[in-house]
Amino acid sequence: MIYIDVRTKEEYEGGHIKGAIHHDIMDIMQGVFPEFPKDTEMTLYCESGNRSMMAKSLLEKAGFTHVINGGSMSDVLL
């Protein structure tokens, strides 16, 4: 399982889940997707769950098949 933080670079640098990869939602919205096989299991998170929900939808439209909206960082840590 890969954790992807879709918040801004500044938010990510201010604290993130250990081992999480940063991939800003703005990049995803512009069609720049994580460089993983499309069947990679990934959990997305952000501050409240809104951006990760949008990112999940965009990734699925791009063909990614195992994407989970983890919600907020605190939700993922539970």
Q: Where are the domains of the chain?
A: 2-77
Judge whether residue 78 has pLDDT over 80: no
pLDDT tens digits for 22-51? 999 999 999 999 999 999 999 999 999 999
pLDDT at residue 77 in the model? 84
21-37: burial string, b at 16+ Cβ within 10 Å, e else: eebbbeebeeeebbeee
Topology (CATH) of 2-77: Oxidized Rhodanese; domain 1 (3.40.250)
Maximum Cα interatomic distance, the chain, rounded to a whole number of Å: 31
Residue 16 confidence class, pLDDT cut points 50, 70, 90 = very high
CB 29 within 8 A of CB 21: no
